Amino acid sequence: MNSMIWEERLKAYRTQFSPIVPYEKSDKLLLMDFTAENKELNEEMVKDTERFTKYINNLLSAAGARYGIGGYNECRTIYSRSDLFDKSRPVVNELQHQVVDTKEEPRCIHLGVDIWGKPYTKVIAPLDGIVHSFAFNNGFGDYGATIILTHNMEGNTFHTLYGHLSLNSIKNIQEGDRVKAGDVFAEFGIPFENGQWPPHLHFQVIIDMEGRKGDYPGVCAPSEKEKYLNNCPDPELLLNLNKQ
């Protein structure tokens, strides 16, 4: 089932989903831009977690916003902060017996929505599900503590991924645990446990996990955009944060 069909299904149920973070209609949200259009960002800043965190907090404070949101299908510059997204790999020329250092295509297309906010912000299940898997993806720039839930809608399953959580979020859970809509089951992590990012939640909808557990790409290369967006519908269909 492709993403267009799933989007129609999610739209039909969107008024029934619980908010994913504590949220009142009076709360102000700030749409955040991490593309090349944002001239305030530079590579030196985003590689320094403390400076990057201050930048996020200052933006939220200046806007009087509880959360910063955005990022789906956004080509971002901030992934230059980590080799996880922009690697060089050795390629051997078998005829000349030489190693040629070539650069892989950088990954920059964001496949989820980020919600930037305060450390330990509660994360709430949008609908009933079970714990599919979880992991501590502890590389610099990675998800850190991560939980993936499986949901069933009209006899079809799909998944939601929650990245950049606290280690406490994965401390006492097991695969197969049931989670009900409205349950608080996790919280935003701080840099040492969330992949060295300013506190936020990466939320992603995934149709087919492709055999993966505890992890799924949240960023893809431009050449893979069509494939991944087809498997990862717009999370706003569940979030409803733009509905004020």
Q: What is the pLDDT of residues 203-220, one digit of tens each?
A: 999 999 999 999 999 999
Ranking 68-77, 98-107, 126-135, 185-194 by mean pLDDT, the lowest is: 98-107
Long-range pairs for 215-218 at CB < 8 Å and ≥24 separation? 215/135, 215/137, 215/143, 215/146, 216/148, 216/159, 216/161, 217/107, 217/111, 218/110, 218/111, 218/112, 218/143, 218/161, 218/163
Report the candidate in 206, 194, 222, 71 with the shortest Cα–Cα distance to residue 137. Answer: 194
Reported as a pLDDT band with limits 50, 70 and 90, residue 241 is low
Question: How open is the CA angle 110-32-219, to the nearest 5 degrees?
Answer: 10
Fold of 3-22+107-239: Glucose Permease (Domain IIA) (2.70.70)
Domain boundaries, the chain: 3-22+107-239
Residue 20 has pLDDT above 90, yes or no: yes
The residue with greater pLDDT, 85 or 141, is 141
Residue 103 has pLDDT above 60, yes or no: no
Reported as a pLDDT band with limits 50, 70 and 90, residue 82 is low
**In DSSP terms, which residues pair with 36 in a beta bridge?**
none
> What is the mean pLDDT of the segment spanning 40-55?
90
Residue-wise pLDDT for 160-195, tens only, equals: 999 999 999 999 999 999 999 999 999 999 999 999
**Both structure tokens of 64:** 């009087």
Reported as a pLDDT band with limits 50, 70 and 90, residue 150 is very high
Report the candidate in 123, 126, 116, 115 with the shortest Cα–Cα distance to residue 185. Answer: 123
> What is the mean pLDDT of the segment spanning 150-159?
90
Residue 27 has pLDDT above 70, yes or no: yes
Residue 242 has pLDDT above 90, yes or no: no
**Four-residue CA torsion sign, 208, 213, 219, 221:** negative
The residue with greater pLDDT, 76 or 12, is 76
Q: How far is CA 240 from the centre of its chain?
A: 16
pLDDT, residue 128, reads 95
**In DSSP terms, which residues pair with 161 in a beta bridge?**
148, 204
**3-state class (DSSP) for residue 120:** coil
What dihedral angle (degrees, nearest 10) is formed by the CA atoms of 172, 125, 184, 214? 30
Ranking 10-14, 20-24, 61-65, 181-185 by mean pLDDT, the lowest is: 10-14
pLDDT, residue 87, reads 55
Reported as a pLDDT band with limits 50, 70 and 90, residue 42 is confident
Per the prediction, the chain carries an average pLDDT of 88
The residue with greater pLDDT, 78 or 209, is 209
Residue-wise pLDDT for 218-227, tens only, equals: 999 888 999 9
- φ and ψ at 177, to 5 degrees? -60, 140
Reported as a pLDDT band with limits 50, 70 and 90, residue 91 is very low
> What is the mean pLDDT of the segment spanning 34-63?
92
